[in-house]
Amino acid sequence: MTEPLPATHCPECGGQLTAEETCTDRYHACMALELTDPAYGAVHHFTVPAYMLQHHSQLSADGWQAMAQILHEFLVAGVSPARMRQLIQQQQKTQRKSFSLVKGRGAERPSWPSTKTIMDVRLDNPDVYCADIRAWAEAVHNDIQQHEEVS
């Protein structure tokens, strides 16, 4: 019996996979760098939403919308991670959360191709890494914005 050929592209984001690494593997490598080295961790607030938005099966439909808004706030409004934590805490004190990021109706796969994916992120050194993460997050945001303008 022959072994099935490995997928060459991620079914969620379309990223080019290798025999050694999937998107999930690369995400875990990114998390290991970001959580152990502050120079890499400087872009953690971009990595998580960009990955989750491109890997829709991780989120509920409402969670996907919330994550898109969070990425927008970080990139466009320039909200810092510390300020985002404050805003979320304030909101939780005044409003009952009406949805779950992960539970409920699942997010649908975006109908557009991804311009960049986590597989485009180079892990070489913090400067290259941070520039790649920022460019990837901006591409994810721009892909969403272009799609929403057309809808």
Render pLDDT for 112-145 as a digit per residue (tens, 0 to 9): 889 999 999 999 999 999 999 999 999 999 999 9
The whole-number pLDDT of residue 151 equals 43
- In terms of Cα–Cα distance, which of 10, 27, 20 is closest to 136? 27
Tell whether 7 is covered by a domain: no
In a domain, 101, yes or no: no
Domains of the chain: total: 1
pLDDT above 70 for 1? no
Domain ranges, residue 45: 18-85+114-143
Q: Find all residues with CB under 8 Å of 94, minimum gap 6, and list them.
A: none
106 SS3 class: strand
Within a domain: 10: no
> Looking only at Cα atoms, what is the longest distance across the chain?
60
Percentage of the chain modeled with pLDDT above 90: 61
| 68: its two tokens | 């898109």
pTM: 0.85
Domain contains 29: yes
Q: Is the dihedral of CA 107, 68, 37, 26 positive or negative?
A: positive
